[in-house]
Structure 1
Amino acid sequence: MKIVIAPDSYKESMSAEHVAQHIESGFRQVFPTAEYVRVPMADGGEGSLDAIKASLQGQEVTLTVKDAYFNDRPASYFLEADGKTALIEIAKICGIEQTTPEQRAPGRATTYGVGQTIADALNKGVEHIVLFIGGSATNDAGAGMVQALGAQLLNQQNQELPVGCLALADLAHIDLSRFDARIKQVAFEVACDVDNRLLGPQGATYIFGPQKGVQPDQLQQFDDCLRQFANVIEKDLNLDAPSIRGGGAAGGLGAGLAVFCQAELRNGFDIISDLVGLRSQIKDADLVLTGEGRIDSQSARGKVPCGVGNLAFEYSVPVIGIAGSVAHDLDEVYQQGVNAVFSILNKPMTLAEAFKNCEENLINTSKNIALVIKSAALVK
């Protein structure tokens, strides 16, 4: 029997790799001779690179870049073994989790370090760059990124703008004469877990700005700055940034990558499943086990359990979801190839208790699920 274990992380508790290890540990107590294939997964948000690099051959590259607030910091990206593909996680460069709420300054937060990281990958001769853009602290639509790659963002006096979203209010002209020409020779893919566009009430600022420190009375001002950026992009480059589906991701970085790097924005799960070869492992499996911290109706919006379920459904392979907690509204989840869902909680408990006992509860729940499967053969 071949069992594929492809979970997401349990946020703030266990990495995807650790979740997979503990599920296997529970199942091995019941099916010790089964073939187990662990494929840690993610959906493109923070932690994606750590989740999948165990499934890939290559090396981590460390460098010093500017963080969200233009301070030097060590960062890293992953270079696949053939040297042709670089995987870059934005949260490792200018991530919101690197700051406390008191430190957040979205007006000057910049993606400059993203451009520095891309430049380093270009220096190594890559032909393909994949960016995971969830979890950023920025709202500059990639302006800092393109500045680091040689673009000049100029005001009416032909002076270069400082970094950050609020500086874009004075943008009058974009000069790409010094923009890194190697960009055109590289295929860019963006793992994106939202489909919001750049501007307006459902755009980058209004939906994601508050968590980055944008105050309610500043939302229109920040949105207007991005609108000015979009207007100058249309004037100088003849491109329509506001219409890009997913362009609002990571404070508009999705739009910046699409405009300046001709990046293809794709569902994060789809990109990651391709990278780790999940389809090839599932197609001849007998059972697939997946999960995340909480499985609910939002899991049906491109999250890992339903991504795994839909993929396994193509090959008629049953899927069981194992989660820290589960909601009652799971009809949409069951409609996407997930056959059953279980919570690892064995009694009412606080969140702190759930975190403390997570490993033990996951192993025990996995063992009990395996016992049910084994005993099902005895039912007449």
Structure 2
Amino acid sequence: MLNRVVVAPSGFKESLSAEAAAEAIAAGVRRVLPGADIDLVPLVDGGEGTALALAAATGGRIVTTAATGPVGQTIAAHFALLGGGDTAVVEMAAVAGLSLVPHGLRDPGATTTYGVGELIRAALDTGARRILVGCGDSGTSDGGAGALQALGARLLDADGRELPRGGRELTRLHRIDPTGLDPRLTEVELLVACNPYNVLCGERGVARVFGPQKGATPAQVEELSAALENWAFVLTRDAAVPDSDLRSGPGTGASGGLGAGLAALGARLLPRFDVLLDHLDLDARLARADLVVTAEGALDLQTPRGKVPAEVARRAKLHGRPVLALAGTLGEGAGEVPGVDACHGILPAPMELAEALLRGSELLTDATERALRMIVLGTRLPVQAEVSGTQRPSSVR
């Protein structure tokens, strides 16, 4: 019997927050299992919703402030102060996320993380002694250069002039003057919750892997890749803490290279789930489940590389729990995610992306109902068991 269902989804980019996705899935579960105990665990991966989720989980609060958005406009941004301590959470997506970049301005060579540095400064102003920067859902690829500029570093060309903001400008970077960096950075513990699979440079660097998703043309991808190579070289030479591998170290490519920029300041780049999920008591909640339902926008070969469904499935399997994964799209490798017992796409028929994004909640609820009805049906079907060389039906209870 399916008496307890844990619903632990990620958000669906530009469509549903993790909280909204969890509610949509729960609505579908209730259509099939009206008496089930449903435990909602909307999961954050450092991207959109991270600050709000961790503030709620710890009894903390959200601090709103004006900051510079990814295309240079002033926006209303926020960070969290967690309850029970002096930790601040800066969610980079709240000030430099892809959702803040208008479709007509999606050029990752031009967008900036300047606002991330402003939020870190604002967190320092509160007296925070520990700052956790959540990486995910970024609309930038400037290697964290903008954040360092906001924190006081000067990025100079060969003539000693300060560079404008944006990753593309890093092709002209000649020297970094770090003397103006906020001195409080040396007195605070700076942690970055990131995907360790993301690296700054090379064939798997952020320009090539994520640049097209952020609007870059093939020519812009190559331009940006070269710019980040130069950034890694100059940053390592002029500003980085000793023994830093800013070019290909784990997590250096997080949020368009923000990981590398902050690592140069001495930040520790940590696997995001190790940092974030302990606040949500996820393992204990999975252990009590009869079924675990997770979800994300796409299930494919990238999912095992640090995505929410793969982490949920891994942890659920430690307790022997079955896992259903729902996704907006099922790509190559969708059926091969370790720990996922079954996957199901939410689209009932081909449709335009804009319509799918608009109808995300409805589609996810309906897809949950369809998948659950198949699971319930499967529990009622006889199976064939091999006994003494013959097949004999047996019932599953």
**Into which bin does the TM-score normalised by the smaller protein fall?**
0.7 to 0.9
Conserved 8 A contact 2:192-2:267: no
CA drift at 1:115: 0.4
Unpaired stretches in structure 1, ≥5 consecutive residues: none
Contact 1:75 1:92 in 2 (8 A): yes
Q: How does 1:226-237 map to 2 (within 5 A)?
A: 226-237=228-239
1:246 is the counterpart of 2:251: yes
> How far apart, CA to CA, are the structure 1 residues paired with 2:197 and 2:374?
35
What amino acid maps onto 1:350 in structure 2? M
The 5 A counterparts of 1:68-79 are 68-79=70-81
Cα 1:119–1:261 change in 2 (3 A) is: farther
Asked whether the 8 Å contact 2:6–2:291 carries over to 1, the reply is: yes
Alpha carbons 1:323, 1:343 under 8 Å: kept: yes
Contact 1:110 1:139 in 2 (8 A): yes
User: After superposition, what is the alpha-carbon deviation per residue over 1:354-373, rounded to whole angstroms, capped at 9, x for unaligned?
Assistant: 96441551453365257447
Identify the residue that residue 61 of structure 1 maps to in structure 2.
Answer: 63
1:7 Cα offset (Å)? 1.4
Quick one: distance in 1 between partners of 2:63 and 2:45? 22
Q: Distance between the aligned counterparts of 2:350 and 2:170, measured in 1?
A: 48
**What pairs with 1:196-207 in structure 2 (closer than 5 Å)?**
196-207=198-209
Contact 1:269 1:303 in 2 (8 A): no
* 1-structure distance, mates of 2:350, 2:141: 38
| Number of residue pairs matched by the alignment | 376
How far 1:62 sits from its partner (Å)?
Answer: 0.9
Aligned equivalent of 1:364, options 365, 369, 394: 369
What is the TM-score with the length of structure 2 in the denominator? 0.80
Q: Does 1:271 align with 2:275?
A: yes
Pairing of 1:133-282 with structure 2 (within 5 A): 133-193=135-195, 195-237=197-239, 238=242, 239-266=244-271, 268-282=272-286
Q: CA deviation at 1:79?
A: 2.0
Q: In 2, are the aligned partners of 1:258 and 1:265 still within 8 Å (CA)? A: no
More deviation, 216-225/82-91: 216-225
Contact residue 22 and residue 362 of structure 1 kept, 8 A? no
2: CA distance, partners of 1:212 / 1:11: 12
Q: Which aligned runs of 4 or more in structure 1 are off by greater than 6 angstroms?
A: none
- The answer for the alignment partner of 1:350 in structure 2 is 351
- TM-score, with normalisation over the residues of structure 1? 0.84
**Structure 1 segment 281-320 matched on structure 2, within 5 A:** 281-320=285-324
Q: Tell me if structure 2 keeps the 8 A contact 1:128–1:188.
A: yes
Deviation per CA, 1:117-160: give whole Å up to 9, x if none: 00111111223322232233333211121121122333455544
The Cα shift of 1:6 comes to 0.7
Does the CA contact (< 8 Å) of 1:9 and 1:292 recur in 2? yes
Q: Which amino acid aligns with 1:257?
A: L
**Cα drift, residue 116 of structure 1:** 0.4
1:338 to 334, 337, 340: 340
**For 1:327 and 1:32, how far apart are their aligned partners in 2?**
32
Q: Distance in 2 between matches of 1:373 and 1:189?
A: 46
Q: Which runs of 5+ in 2 are unaligned?
A: 383-394
For 1:109, the aligned partner's letter is: T
Q: 1:30 to 1:248 in 2, by over 3 A?
A: closer
Matching of residues 34-53 of structure 1 within 5 Å? 34-49=36-51
Structure 2 CA distance for partners of 1:127 and 1:243, relative to 1, 3 Å? same
Q: In structure 1, what residue type is equivalent to 2:302?
A: Q
C-alpha separation in 2, matches of 1:327 and 1:177: 48
Summarize deviations over 1:152-206 as a string: whole Å, max 9, x none: 3334555443333344344343333331222233333323346243223332333
C-alpha separation between the residues in 1 aligned to 2:214 and 2:339? 35
Which amino acid in 2 is paired with 1:256?
A: G
